Amino acid sequence: MFDFWNNKEIRLPVDKLQNAIKESREIRELDKNFFRSVSELRNNLSRLYDSISALNSKTTENKYSNIVKNKFCARSMELLNGVEYPESIVTAEDFCDTLRDKLDELASLNIKEFRHLNAFKEEMKSVAEGIKIAGNNVNTIGQILNYPVSKRAAEVWKTIEEMKNLESAIADMENQINSINSRIDETEKILKMKRKELQQALQSSDYMRAEMVRKEMEKLKQNAKTIETKISEEFASIERIFRKFAHFNTYEKELVDKYISDGFAAFLDDEEGKIKIILDKMRIAVETGKIPIESRKHQKLLDIIRSMSLFESLRRQYKEIKSQLEQLMSDMPSVEKDIGRLNSEIEDGEHAIVKLRKELESRNKSIDEAIRKVEELKGDLVDSVSGILGKKVVIEN
C-alpha cells in the first residue's frame, strides 16, 4: 500500500477535488474497465432493442396474439428508450439499480406474455436471450462499482456535490440578505420622510382647527348618546307589556317587535307617532285586565305616555345633532385624513421592517447552519480523498 504520509501533501480547493479524483491512477484504471463494460452493455441493449423492433414488425393471423405482441413491444421499447449512461464510476451510483429494474420488468413481461405469443416463439426467445445478456453486463458493471475504491470515490463525489449545493444555497441566501437589507434601508428612508410629514401636519394651523372641530363633535356625540340611552331605557322598562300586547294584537305586532328589539331606533323611524296609539291601547288592555301586570309597571307605562312630547322633542334634538355632526364632518380640514393616512402608512412600514428583520435572522441562521455543514463535510472528505489519491490532501477554502 502506498504510504502517502511520507510524501508531499497536496493542497486543493473543493472545486478541483472532483477532477483530481477522476484523474487519479486507480479511478482511471477502473474507469477503463467500466467504460468497456458500459460500451458492451450499450451494444447489447441496442441489439435487444433491434430484436424487439423485429418482433414488432412481425404479424400473425391470430388478432389477439398481434394485440398482445404490440403491447409487449411498445412497453419494452419504452423501457429501453432514454437509458442514460454515466461518464465515470463516480457518477454511476444508481445506474445499475435503475437498469436492473428495467430489465426485471422486461423479463417479467417476457415470461407473462410468452404463452400468448407462441406464433412468435423464436423472436421471444431472442428477446429473452438479449435480456439475459444485458443482465450479465449489468452484474459485471455492478462488481466494478462495488470495489471499495469505487464506492469511496462515489461517496466522495456525492459529498462534494452536496457541498457545492450548500455553497450555492449560501450564495443565494447572501444575495437575498443583500436584497432584504436594501428593502429595509429603503423602507426606513420612506418612514423618515413620513414621520417628518406627520410632525409638520400635527404642528399646522389646520390641525389645531381640526382638534377644535373634533372636540365639538365629541360633545355632540355624547349628547346624542345620552338621548339614545334615555329613550332606549324607557321603552326597555315596559318590554313585558309590549310582549304581552303583541301576543294578542297581531295586527300591530311588526311595529311592537321593532320597539322590543331596539326601542330608540324604532322611535326614531316612527315619524307618524304610531307608538302613541299603541301605548294607549296597551294602557286600556292593562286597565281592563287583558294584560295582567304589577302596579309599578302600569305606572311606568303611564309615565311614558305622559312623556311622549318630551321624547318627540328629544328626537328632534337628536336629528339636529346628527345634522350638525354631518356638517362638522364635511367641514373637517383635510389634514385630519392626511394624519390618519400617514399614521397608517408609518404603522405598515414599521410592521414591514419587523417582518424583514425576521427574514434576515432566518437567512443568517440558515447560512450559519449551511457553513457548519460544509465544514463538517470537508472534514469527512480529507481521509477519503487522501486514500484515493495516495497522498495527504489539504482542502483549501
Residue 10, SS3 per DSSP: strand
Model confidence over 36-47: pLDDT tens digits?
A: 988 999 999 999
Model confidence over 335-357: pLDDT tens digits?
A: 877 888 899 999 999 999 999 99
- Check residues 388 and 239 and name the one with the higher pLDDT: 239
- Check residues 111 and 158 and name the one with the higher pLDDT: 158
pLDDT confidence of residue 321: 94
pLDDT confidence of residue 114: 63
Q: Please give the biggest Cα pair distance in the chain.
A: 124
Contact 34, 141 (CB under 8 A): yes
pLDDT confidence of residue 3: 43
Instruction: Over range 250-260, report the average pLDDT.
Output: 89
Contact 397, 13 (CB under 8 A): yes
Model confidence over 178-205: pLDDT tens digits?
A: 999 999 999 999 999 999 999 988 888 8
pLDDT confidence of residue 119: 73
Quote the mean pLDDT of the chain: 87
Locus of grid cell 311614558:
304
Q: Does pLDDT of 328 surpass 50?
A: yes
The torsion of the CA quartet 199, 205, 206, 212, rounded to 10 degrees, works out to 110
Model confidence over 121-178: pLDDT tens digits?
A: 888 888 889 999 999 999 998 898 888 888 888 888 888 888 889 989 999 999 999 9
Model confidence over 65-109: pLDDT tens digits?
A: 888 888 888 988 988 887 888 888 888 878 888 888 888 888 887
Which of 49, 139, 151 is CA-nearest to residue 93? 151
Residue 13, SS3 per DSSP: strand
pLDDT confidence of residue 304: 94
Band of pLDDT at residue 1, cut at 50, 70 and 90: very low
pLDDT confidence of residue 334: 77
pTM: 0.54
Distance of CA 220 to the CA centre of its chain: 49
**Which CATH code is given to the segment(s) 15-146?**
1.20.1440
- Phi-psi domain of 274 (left: phi exceeds 0; alpha: psi -120 through 50; beta: other): alpha
pLDDT confidence of residue 2: 39
Band of pLDDT at residue 324, cut at 50, 70 and 90: very high
Instruction: Over range 278-304, report the average pLDDT.
Output: 93
pLDDT confidence of residue 7: 52
Locus of grid cell 329613550:
231
Model confidence over 6-26: pLDDT tens digits?
A: 456 778 777 777 778 777 788
| Domain layout of the chain by residue ranges | 15-146, 205-346
pLDDT confidence of residue 112: 66
pLDDT confidence of residue 145: 86
For residues 137 and 133, what is the distance between their CA atoms, to the nearest angstrom? 6
